[in-house]
Structure 1
């Protein structure tokens, strides 16, 4: 019977998550040589190659892609067993930006709790700017937000592309200002959109401002055009930039900021970051086409 070594499986998952031996070693408080040895030991025990390594890239092999979820479950079970020995519950203040959060959030939180039931997760959903301010003031332990233009720190979780979306039946008369629906004025995506319109000389008028549900409803009803993440645009809308001559919107990045330092919390955060990367895979090609509707990520519980 093949038995698994926790440290070796942990090394494999860390390398897969960070796609880097160096960053995985830093995360585990080890050395690149040590985790390479652990990975080799695991591959020898399983009789398969789990990772493919080139000078520029580290990625899962076909066998590694099959093994990764079982490896995560194995580590989660190990953490639950250890957590059961302690009655101590730890608070984890997590902020997720409204323009980043999607229907997968419950799945991500459930995965985080399954990894460590001793974690008391407190979640705040707001704009990226408000969350970053709360993080800097020490009110939150970690935030997942759209990258701030003035900051380059944080761990990149993936790209975020934006477009102009409207109902297929949306009409705009010649010379009419673009009817725009967007979130509150402090929303960074709104600022990006209005700057792009002004820069292109496109007249616009804001007809809906408010919470995301109201904005989504206005756009879906054919009353306005909305700037959305291509990943999170309402499913009954289409990208209309070419149709109405609207300027392209610059892409951004989703980043994770964290102050967590203890080993258990960092492992939990790694689990969350890995799940977020998996669930937020977007098209590699950012160009917008009026003939194309961007794929929506449909998520199932892990």
Structure 2
């Protein structure tokens, strides 16, 4: 009967998620050589090449693409079994920036619950600045935010690109200021747009401010205003209108995971969060 080594399967899944032997080694706290050895032993045991590796690319082989979900299920079952032996209730407070929280959050929370069912997960959604303040006060165990100007250290989960979005029927006459909708005056994404307009000498006015993301999306979808959105989170049915209205380009940012937790259980949870986030973004690309 074929038996699988947990660490070897974990190495395979990490390489597949991060598309890099080096990043997989960093995430697992080991060396690239050790990752390569574990993957080679796994491939020899299953009799299949699972990862295609070239000087420029690391990707799943056809056999690896078939094996990846069973491998995840195998690791999840192992984690549940181990958690059952050492289960004790624990609170994990996670902050997610409003302009970061997208469809991947469902995957992230489900994967975190699979990894450690004993965790009580508390999620706080707010703008990046408020979450970083809460994180600094020790109120959050981890925070997923847009990179702020302070350039503080954190684990980069991926790039974030922004655009000007509006309903297809949105109209703005040349002699009128651009009508904007935003979450709040403290919203960093709002600042990205307003600073770009100011630098370009384009007049603007806010016609919707606050009320939550649903209100902002409703205002934009109804054709009452335009707004700056992450390209992956723009409301369904809206279009990018920078060319149509001759609007300035917007700088990109990064999505970053911050945490100071060092115990193994917490580090495992953080690794689960990072992998789930990257996996969902890669699948949606």
Q: TM-score range by the shorter chain?
A: over 0.9
Q: CA deviation at 1:240?
A: 0.8
Q: CA deviation at 1:242?
A: 0.6
SS at match of 1:280: helix
- For 1:264 and 1:58, the matched residues in 2 are separated by 29
Q: CA deviation at 1:14?
A: 2.5
Quote the residue 1:246 is aligned against. 247
Whether the aligned pair in 1 keeps the contact of 2:167 and 2:237 (CA below 8 Å) is yes
- C-alpha change, 1:69 and 1:120, in structure 2 (3 Å) is same
- For 2:23 and 2:171, the matched residues in 1 are separated by 50
State the TM-score, normalizing by the size of structure 1.
0.88
Quote the residue 1:294 is aligned against. none
| 98-107 or 273-282, which deviates more | 273-282
Quote the residue 1:99 is aligned against. 99
**Superposed, which structure 2 residues align to 1:81-120 within 5 Å?**
81-120=81-120
Structure 2: state its 5+ residue gaps.
none
**Superposed, which structure 2 residues align to 1:278-289 within 5 Å?**
278-281=279-282
Q: CA deviation at 1:93?
A: 1.3
- C-alpha change, 1:56 and 1:104, in structure 2 (3 Å) is closer
**Superposed, which structure 2 residues align to 1:90-239 within 5 Å?**
90-210=90-210, 211-239=212-240
Structure with higher helix content: 2
| 95-104 or 84-93, which deviates more | 84-93
Whether the aligned pair in 1 keeps the contact of 2:102 and 2:233 (CA below 8 Å) is yes
- C-alpha change, 1:23 and 1:173, in structure 2 (3 Å) is closer
Which deviations, in whole Å up to 9, do the C-alpha atoms of 1:71-119 show, x marking residues without a partner? Answer: 1111111010111123412221111100000134233212210121121
- For 2:133 and 2:60, the matched residues in 1 are separated by 37
- For 1:23 and 1:106, the matched residues in 2 are separated by 24
Whether the aligned pair in 1 keeps the contact of 2:27 and 2:271 (CA below 8 Å) is no
> Does structure 1 residue 67 correspond to structure 2 residue 40?
no
> Does structure 1 residue 21 correspond to structure 2 residue 21?
yes
* Alignment root-mean-square deviation, CA: 1.9
| 99-108 or 224-233, which deviates more | 99-108
Q: CA deviation at 1:134?
A: 1.7
Whether the aligned pair in 1 keeps the contact of 2:107 and 2:280 (CA below 8 Å) is no
- For 1:261 and 1:50, the matched residues in 2 are separated by 32
Q: How many residues get paired?
A: 284
State the TM-score, normalizing by the size of structure 2.
0.93
- For 2:18 and 2:282, the matched residues in 1 are separated by 15
SS at match of 2:85: coil
